[in-house]
Amino acid sequence: MSSFTSKDVVTLRKKTGLGMMDCKRALEASEGDYDKAIEFLRKKGISKGESRSERPTGQGLIEAYIHPGERLGVIIELLCETDFVSRSDVFKQLAHDIAMQVAASAPRYVRKEDIPKAIIEKELEIYREQIKEQNKPPDIVDRIAQGKLNKFIQENCLIEQDYIKENKVKVKDEILSVAGKLKENIQIRRFVRYTLGE
């Protein structure tokens, strides 16, 4: 008995742009586990988007999003390779959705490489001090601290966050999915989040 439905297959197909049979096989291989199926398909299909990630991005757009109530606003710069793609509805929708993501989830950085080394070290120091009070062995302290750091990265880096429109997918996976469909490199260059009074 399968642990997934035809609706799951369709959802996976929309996310990856791959064929129905590929998506079905991925869900079968992962025993219906959506995250594992995404990972399976990344190796087969979405990774096509990853292979484009080194290509130059000289086009794109600036998307502005103002949250209802006019007390919160976001501006993002989303890049692609061609003017044709930058004007496509799919690309514009992605830019809008990512701006909404920034509004909802308040990331501090685009990617983990953007976090200053001093902040990483300070966070680890804080986590280690917190755990040391529990009298755990040093190797356990380091492992728990690293786990807390990974959570900090996931919460504070835009592309590592769970995608608000599909929480079983990360923002970076959604970008790779759209990049695969449009056959171009797509990158978030920067964003600014404004809150009234801050």
CATH of the domain at 187: 3.30.479.20
Name the residue range of residue 21's domain.
Answer: 6-51
Domain count, the chain: 3
Please list the pLDDT of the chain residue by residue as tens digits (198 residues): 457 788 887 777 766 656 677 788 888 888 888 778 877 776 665 545 555 555 666 799 999 999 999 999 999 999 999 999 999 999 999 999 999 999 999 999 999 999 999 999 999 988 888 887 777 777 788 888 889 999 999 999 999 999 998 877 899 989 988 888 888 889 999 999 999 887
Q: The pTM is what?
A: 0.70
Phi, psi of 122 (to 5 degrees): -65, -45
Interior angle at CA 9, CA 5 and CA 11, nearest 5: 110
CATH of the domain at 29: 1.10.8.10
Q: Using an 8 Å Cβ cutoff, are 141 and 132 in contact?
A: yes
Residues 44 and 129 in one domain: no
* Identity of residue 184: E
Helix (H) or strand (E) holding 77: strand 72-80
Residues 63 and 106 in one domain: yes
Q: Using an 8 Å Cβ cutoff, are 40 and 33 in contact?
A: no
Residue 69: Cβ within 10 Å count: 7
Residues 143 and 106 in one domain: no
Within a domain: residue 20?
Answer: yes
Residues 105 and 120 in one domain: no
Within a domain: residue 1?
Answer: no
Residues 105 and 67 in one domain: yes
Residue 195: Cβ within 10 Å count: 12
Within a domain: residue 18?
Answer: yes
